[in-house]
Each structure stands twice: as C-alpha cells, then as structure tokens.
A and B are shown apart, each in its own frame.
Chain A
Amino acid sequence: MASPAPRPAADEVRPPAGPPAPVGTRARWSTVPLVVRHLVLAAGALAAVLLLIAATDTVNTMRIAAVGYSVLAIAGLQVLIGASGQVSLGHGAFMFIGAYTVALLVIRLPMLPLWVNLLITVAVSAAAGVVVGGATARLHGPYLAGATLALAVGLPSLAVRFPELLGGGNGLAFTTRGAPPALAATVSTAQWQAAAVWFTVLLALTVLATVSRGRLGRRMRAVRDDPLAAAAAGIPVGRTKVAAFVLSACCGGLAGACQGYLLGTATPSSFTLALSLSLLAALVFGGMGSLWGALWGGAALVYLEVWAEDAAHALSLGTSVTNNLPIVLFGLILIVVVLLRPDGVHGAVRDAAGAVRRAR
C-alpha cells in the first residue's frame, strides 16, 4: 500500500515549555501533570460518549461501541507505525487473540469479573507481542510487513485446528452480564456494554497518549527517524522496537476483547486478512502521527461500511456490486484523502481548527 512517510504531527513536537510562562487558563492547564490532563480529557470524552449512547437507539449504540474498539485497535497501530516506524499488516491477529481469550475466560471461568478478563487479555496479548515483536524487531520494511502478514493469515486457522477448544469454524458463542440489577431498569444491556467498552478504550488511550509523550515515545520517534543516530545516542534500538510492538499488540488484543465481549462471539471468519488491511487503511485515512487520526479512522471503518451497504441495497444493485461496494468506496475515499491530505482527516481538521483560532 502506498502510504505517505509518517510525519510527526505538529502537536507532538511542541517545544518544551520555556520561560517566561505566560499567564491565563491555558498556561495554568499546561502546568498540570500530563497524565492528569489526559485523564480529564478522557473523562470528558466518556461523558460525551455516554450522552450520545443515551440519545440513540440500540443499533446505533452497538455501532458506537464498535467505533470504540476500532479506535483502540487503530490507535495501537498508530503507535507502531506512526511513532516507531514499523509496519504491521497483521494486527487482526492480535484482535483474534483478544477475542478468543475473553471467550475462553467467560466460558471456562464464568466467575471472573470483566476487568480481570480484560487484564488477563492484556497480559496474553503482551506475551504474544513479545514473541512476535522479538522475532520481527530484526526485520524492517517489506520483510516485517511480510512476517506480520503471515501472522494474520495463519493464526485464525488455529481455531479450525483445535475444534474442541476453540470451536472450529463455527467459533465460540457466549453471553455476558448486562447492567447490574439496580440499573437494569434504566440502562439496557447494549448501553451498559457500550459504556464499558468506551471506558476501557479511553483508559487505554490515556495510557497510550501518556506513554507516547514520555520517554518511550521520544525513543520510538528517534528510532523511527534514524536508527543509527538513535543507537549512537545510547537508545537501545531493539528493545524500543519490541516495546512499541508489545504496546501495540496490547491495544489490538484489548480491542478484540472488547469486540468479543460486546458481540458475545469469537469466530475465525471475523478475523480475516481484510480486517488487518482495513485497520491499516483506516489509520492512513484518519491520519498517521496522531492518536486523533484513530478516531476518524474508527468512525469511518464502522459507518462507511454500513452506509455503503445500505446504499447498495437501496439501489438494488447486483450481488457482485453489493459485495464489493463498501471496499471500493473506502478505497476511493482513501485515495482522495491521500492525494489531497497526506496527513489524513486529522491533518485537515487540525488546519481548519488552526484557521478558526487565527481568525479570532
């Protein structure tokens, strides 16, 4: 896939706050520790999502939740590709691991609460990330892409290989608890699950944003821009690459876990190569170099497909057209975005916001 060279987004290379500090709310905000700032932003975002969920019907609640876990998967990919410069064509495989981990935990150990399940999923994904990242940190460019591609193609067939444990081609189905009894009258199962998914996603994004603005983030960018210079500066190149891979794998696994929890299923046919490639395409579409890009990418991934299918069926087009319309549409939009704005939708939004600010 032709993607533009990842460029650092403007907000990432903000110069260190030098003296003299200007006065005002803006300045005071910047003295608050980074992680607190991120948590406040995440809490605001959660409130917004909850309002949105309360205002929509069940179907859209489910789709909003789907946007949530897609955002997380894409954000993980952004850390890997945008920040550390490694390309992965196989992130669907980590979603597969996450979904099956949650499915097995819910079926075999139903007494474990959701948050324990999610933590175990993170641990399992991290282990997978260490194994895969450790092996692929020596590779670069197309070789790395090829190795991760093999992962996406090969891993789902595990489910077919071990049908007793993983349910074979039909996959696993399970039911999870909805809202606690006290809230069951006012909050539907779908709303509760969507809220839980977004809570998890925003917490993970907080960790991700904080880490990528910190030491590890700086090291990853240094390795991405010039591994030799980074090594000369004393940065452990291999370890940094593996760390980025593990972080990214955790996000993918957690996203898969959220998907499994939300839908109550883990099926090999949901984790195709097309999923991995769509995640990458959505990242390019949203904009590499910033976590915000993941938001636009995730929303596009879920809603473009829905709209394209509705449009195809409304126009009663032939089967072969309907089959391919969502992918064609997504491809076309991706080409247009890359031609007009190589920095993706987020680049356009940022420029627009900047223009508004200057005009004031």
Chain B
Amino acid sequence: MSPRTPVLAIGLTLALLATACGGAGEVEEGRTADLDVATGVTDDTVRIGTHQPLTGPAAPGYAQISAGAKAVFEYVNENGGVNGRRIEYLVEDDGYDPVRTIDVTRELVASDEIFAMLGGLGTPTHSKVVDYLNKEGVPDLFVSSGALMWNAPEKSPLTYGYQVDYTKEAKIQGEFIADEFPDEKIGFFYQNDDVGEDSRAGLERYLGDEIVEEQRYESGVTEIGPQIAALKKAGADVVVCACIPTYVALAIVESERIGYRPQFVVSSIGADTETLKGLLTEFTDGAGEDAVEELLDGLIATAYLPQVGMAEDPWIGLYRKIHEDHNKDGAFTNTTVYGMVQATLFAQVLKEAGRDLTRQSLLDALESREWAGPGLVPFAASKDDHGGFAGAMVTRFHAGGEPETLREPKVTDREGGAISGFELERPDPGETEFFDGG
C-alpha cells in the first residue's frame, strides 16, 4: 500500500460528500403538514400515544401518570367511548433517555399511526421530538413538564402545555413568601436545569435581598450534604425547593440529620406527599409511618390539581372509584391524579370535536372555548397561549390530616404581570361531558 492511499480515500470522501452541499442546519421553513386528516381514527376507535418513563431513573415517581390516564380511558371506553369511538392509548417506554424517546416517538407516529400525542413526559426527552411532531402534523397535547418552551404557538403550533409552568408557579410562591414571611431569610435549592432557572425568574419578581443563599443539585447525584450545610450556615429560615420528589425527600432527611429545620416551600413537581412518604421511608431505613408523617408535617407546597387528601372533592371521589376499578395494583397519589386529569381533559376535547374528527377539528375544538373540569385553575389553550394551567394555590401538609389551603388558587403570567383571582365555574364530574354514557 502506498502511504498516500488514506489521503486518497479522504479525498474521495470529500469529492462525494461535496455533491450534497447545502448547509446542514439550513432547514426549509414553511412546509406545513396537512391537518385535515384523520390518521389513527376508524369508525369505532381513535388511537393516541405517549412516551413515558416506565423504567429507568424517573420511573419510581412518574410511572403512575400513564397508569392513571389508562384507568380513565378504560372507564371512558366502558361508558360508551367518545362520539362512538373507543380510545386506544398506547404507552411507549423511553426510560427517560432522549435517544429512546426519539425512537419510540417515530415508532408511534410512523408505525402505529397515532392520531395525537398525549402528555409526552419530561423536558430533556420531549424537547427532542417537538420539532418532529410539528413537522409531521401530529397534535402534541398536554406535555407532562413545566418548561416554558411548550408555550410557543409561533414555533410549535401543534404543541400545547399542560402543567403550570415553573415561572408562574414560582411567582405565586414568591408573592406568598413575601407576604407571609416578610422578615425571614430565604434559601433557594434547585435542580440545575430549566426547572431551577425558570423558577428563579419567578421568585426574583417578588424576592430580592431576602434570598441569602442559592444551592443547586445535579439530577442523578444524590449526595447533597454540602448544599444543605451551606443553606444552614447562611441561616435560611425558609427554603424554596424547585426539585423533583427524590431531592425534596433527600433535603428533608439531610437537614433533619444536621439539626436544621427550615420551612420548606416545594413546587408541585416535587410535592406529591404519597410519593414523598415512600421515599422518606426508604431513605430513613424504614422509619415508621408516624415518623415519616412527622418529617413532612408543615410542608408548604403549590398545587393546581385536586389533591388525593381532599376527601370532599367530587373529582377525587370519581378518580378514587376509577382507580379501584381499573388500577388496583398501583398507588393512588397526586401523580396518578395528574395522569387522570390529563386523560379527562383530552376526552373532553375529543367530545367537543364531534363525530366528524380530523386533526384540525381536534385543535379547533381545543381552542374553541375555556376549559373547566377537574383542574383548580383556568386552562389556557387558545391561538396565542398554549400555556396549560395558568396558576396555582398554596397548601400546607398536616400529619394525619387533610391539606390546608393557605392561599386560594390564583393565576398570573410568566412575565411581570400581577397575580390575580379569577372566575371559574368548576363543574362536577356529572356536569362534564367526556364520554358518551349509557
């Protein structure tokens, strides 16, 4: 072999690749998919899909979401379906790995030919398929994440958010803390990604110098001793926790260990008390139920959905019944309710779209009116606002009792707008149309 042969080969590579020389990142805009189609719809079924972490690091908390949604769809199908069609709900496991999210989403769209994507879970995961879904013309409803990027009607017209975004939620926390703890020192403990960043943007609207210490954690690194010690050293009396459940529990256990008892204020993503109890039991090597409840006692959290502890709530009553009939093996937690509300909302929209169903008619129905149902705050899904739930309430957990509402639900925006009350007629399940009945 002559020493020049590799050079020759590389030269050939260049020549051949040069034939395909447009900028790799120059994507033609403007080609919009045809939405007047009814892909995945037959006379008696409509097929939708989702990607969820049924395995992997996010599975322990979030696998219940699709279980809850599935239970509601079974209940709907048992009661005659929606406009004469049964809902077929395909759940693909992506293990919270973006590479697999891309794989299973293509499978759902190209092979299973789903009508719409419902509640794809996670920011790192779903952000990698938003462009694909919009390009393929697949409605991408109710993304299971509080990132701000789902509410971008210009860029992603088919993507609609679901849960209250991190900034709105943090604004409500910030105002509450400024009112109720005016003289206290505030610490901020956050996940080092958009969760923390967007939450800070909201908090800083209401809190300035009061924030004496900020500490972050990396998802996946469970050693948080130094961060909690720093918060203690700074003398923070209130610690705002923009964390997922695992890190809320770790923070509680760690601060207890070093004799530090701040008032925790937790975002809804980390505040599912049933999940927290399970985690605390695990992290404390099986402390009794009472001890775990005691650790959580007084925890302040934001919420926008009915809580499993609200025994009087008619929706919780219905969901508990559906859970017992269709999801017996799972736990009934706020996370389960999250999926159940998601499914209920989707069925409501589907019902509204009518028998003559296309992707366009589904989106028209979604934007046609204000949605009221299981949620505690108004739901934004209009031409210019794809934000989903628009606010939250503030609650306090009491060991062995019902959660106390510290501040009634309020709505706000993600910029400098005020936090205000709202008029919302919240219908009972009996007044809500989300299946045919009979």
Which of A9-17, A81-89, A222-230, A262-270 lies at the binding interface?
A262-270
Within the complex, which residue of A109, A157, A160, A267 is in contact with B25, where a contact is CB–CB below 8 Å?
A109
Complex-state Cα separation, A119 to B10, whole angstroms? 10
For residue A155, give the distance in angstroms from its CB to the closest CB of chain B: 14
Complex-state Cα separation, A160 to B12, whole angstroms? 38
**How many chain-B residues does the 8 Å CB contact rule pick out?**
52
Chain A contacts with B in 176-230, Cβ cutoff 8 A: 176-177, 180-181, 190, 196, 199, 203, 206-207, 210-211, 213-215
Residues in A with CB closer than 8 Å to B95 are: 323
25 contacts between A and B (CB under 8 A): A34-B1, A58-B106, A63-B103, A106-B25, A107-B25, A113-B20, A168-B194, A169-B192, A170-B193, A171-B128, A173-B128, A173-B131, A175-B131, A176-B25, A177-B24, A177-B25, A177-B27, A177-B28, A210-B1, A210-B9, A264-B128, A265-B102, A270-B98, A309-B93, A322-B54
Q: Are B124 and A269 in touch, CB under 8 angstroms?
A: yes
> What per-residue 1/0 map shows which CB atoms of B257-294 lie under 8 Å from chain A?
00000000000000000000000000000000000000
Q: Are A270 and B6 in touch, CB under 8 angstroms?
A: no
For residue A182, give the distance in angstroms from its CB to the closest CB of chain B: 11
Complex-state Cα separation, A206 to B103, whole angstroms? 29
Within the complex, which residue of B3, B5, B123 is in contact with A170, where a contact is CB–CB below 8 Å?
B123
Q: Are A163 and B192 in touch, CB under 8 angstroms?
A: yes
Residues in A with CB closer than 8 Å to B102 are: 62, 263-265
A33 within 8 Å of B (CB atoms): yes
Q: Are B110 and A59 in touch, CB under 8 angstroms?
A: yes
For residue B2, give the distance in angstroms from its CB to the closest CB of chain A: 8
For residue B267, give the distance in angstroms from its CB to the closest CB of chain A: 17
Most buried by B among A106, A110, A113, A213: A113
Residues in A with CB closer than 8 Å to B128 are: 171, 173, 263-265, 267
Complex-state Cα separation, A147 to B24, whole angstroms? 35
B interface with A by C-beta (< 8 Å): 1, 3, 5-6, 8-10, 12-14, 16-18, 20-28, 54-56, 59, 63, 93, 95-99, 102-103, 106-107, 110-111, 123-124, 127-128, 130-132, 192-194, 218-220
Residues in B with CB closer than 8 Å to A111 are: 23, 25-26
Q: Are B98 and A110 in touch, CB under 8 angstroms?
A: no
Residues in A with CB closer than 8 Å to B12 are: 39, 203
Q: Are A267 and B192 in touch, CB under 8 angstroms?
A: no
Residues in A with CB closer than 8 Å to B124 are: 169-171, 267, 269
A150 within 8 Å of B (CB atoms): no
In the complex formed, the residue of A with least CB distance to B13 is A203
Q: Are B24 and A114 in touch, CB under 8 angstroms?
A: yes
Interface of A is mostly: helix
Within the complex, which residue of B21, B110, B123 is in contact with A115, where a contact is CB–CB below 8 Å?
B21
**How many chain-A residues does the 8 Å CB contact rule pick out?**
60
Known contacts A267-B128, A323-B55: A261-B24 contact under CB 8 Å: yes
Q: Are A168 and B193 in touch, CB under 8 angstroms?
A: yes
Q: Are B99 and A177 in touch, CB under 8 angstroms?
A: no
A112 within 8 Å of B (CB atoms): yes
Residues in A with CB closer than 8 Å to B103 are: 59, 62-63
Known contacts A170-B194, A176-B27, A177-B27: A213-B1 contact under CB 8 Å: yes
Residues in A with CB closer than 8 Å to B127 are: 170, 173
A248 within 8 Å of B (CB atoms): no
Complex-state Cα separation, A112 to B93, whole angstroms? 36
> What per-residue 1/0 map shows which CB atoms of A51-73 lie under 8 Å from chain B?
00000011100110000000000
Considering the complex of A and B, which 3 residue pairs feature the smallest CB-CB distances, nearest first?
A: A110-B25, A115-B17, A58-B110
Complex-state Cα separation, A177 to B20, whole angstroms? 11
In the complex formed, the residue of B with least CB distance to A63 is B103
Q: Are B25 and A207 in touch, CB under 8 angstroms?
A: no
For residue B114, give the distance in angstroms from its CB to the closest CB of chain A: 13
